[in-house]
Amino acid sequence: MNEEYINNLVEKIQNGDKESFSLLYKELFNPIYKFCFFKLPNKETTEDITSEVILNIFSNIDSYSKQKGIKFISWVFRIAQNKIIDFFRVNKENLELKEEIICKKSNIDKDLNNDFLKNKLQNALKNLPHSQSQSIILKYFSGLNNTEISNILDKSETAVRILQSRGLKSLKKYINYEDFL
């Protein structure tokens, strides 16, 4: 994602340009979906939260202002992060129960779409500090670069790089490579 390009699109949208609306949607859809996918327990919840996040962004896009000092991309991912936190807060009890049921019911034929790997990875990521896991998800799954991640996490690029390398190092301890081959 090119920051200038995104800012340009946002400005055009604020002036009512529909073409930019769909272009920005294309730019944001995949990174947000992937970010939610690795944070949430299943595909259905991911779809629900992704649509909530995207609709929230587009309905409030005219209220976004650069002058407040927040970059657009960090504004977007803060909305996503808040929605995910809300989800876990509301569904805390249900999720604990569901986890057990899912374990019992897990079936080979189910829509795998990496559910198995995802669970393994999610468990491994849980062992890392929040900022480390956040930087890894944003970099490798949402496909953002370090500048964008530094904006989202409110840290310098060097700090982000350190977070990632430390995160990867400790992730190696918790990952069983055979599962991913």
Is 147 one of the binding residues for another protein (CB under 8 A)?
no
Q: Which range touches another protein (CB under 8 A), out of 3-11, 45-53, 73-81, 82-90?
A: 45-53
Task: Give yes or no for a contact between 152 and 77, defined as CB atoms under 8 angstroms apart.
Answer: yes
Of 63-92, which residues contact another protein (CB under 8 A)? Answer: none
Is 127 one of the binding residues for another protein (CB under 8 A)?
no
**C-alpha to C-alpha distance for 38 and 33, rounded to whole angstroms:** 9
Among 3, 27, 47, 157, which residue sits at the site for another protein (rule: CB under 8 A)? 47
Q: Which range touches another protein (CB under 8 A), out of 69-77, 79-87, 103-111, 145-153?
A: 103-111
- The residues near 170 (Cβ < 8 Å, ≥ 6 apart) are 127, 128, 132
16: left (phi over 0), alpha (psi -120 to 50) or beta: left
Is 175 one of the binding residues for another protein (CB under 8 A)?
yes
Task: Give yes or no for a contact between 73 and 1, defined as CB atoms under 8 angstroms apart.
Answer: yes
Q: Is the torsion defined by CA of 95, 121, 75, 160 positive or negative?
A: positive
Is 5 one of the binding residues for another protein (CB under 8 A)?
no
E strand residue ranges, the chain:
none
- Applying CB under 8 A, what is the total number of residues that bind another protein? 51
Among 58, 79, 122, 166, which residue sits at the site for another protein (rule: CB under 8 A)? 58
Smallest gap from residue 7 Cβ to another protein (A): 19
User: Around Cβ 42, how many Cβ atoms within 10 Å?
Assistant: 16
**Number of alpha carbons in the 13 Å side-chain half-sphere of residue 169:** 6
Q: Which is nearer to another protein, 142 or 146 (CB)?
A: 142
Q: What residue ranges bind another protein (CB under 8 A)?
A: 16, 18-19, 21-22, 25, 29-30, 33-34, 37, 42-48, 50-51, 54-55, 58-59, 62, 94, 98, 105, 107-114, 116-117, 121, 136, 140-143, 168, 171-172, 175, 179-181
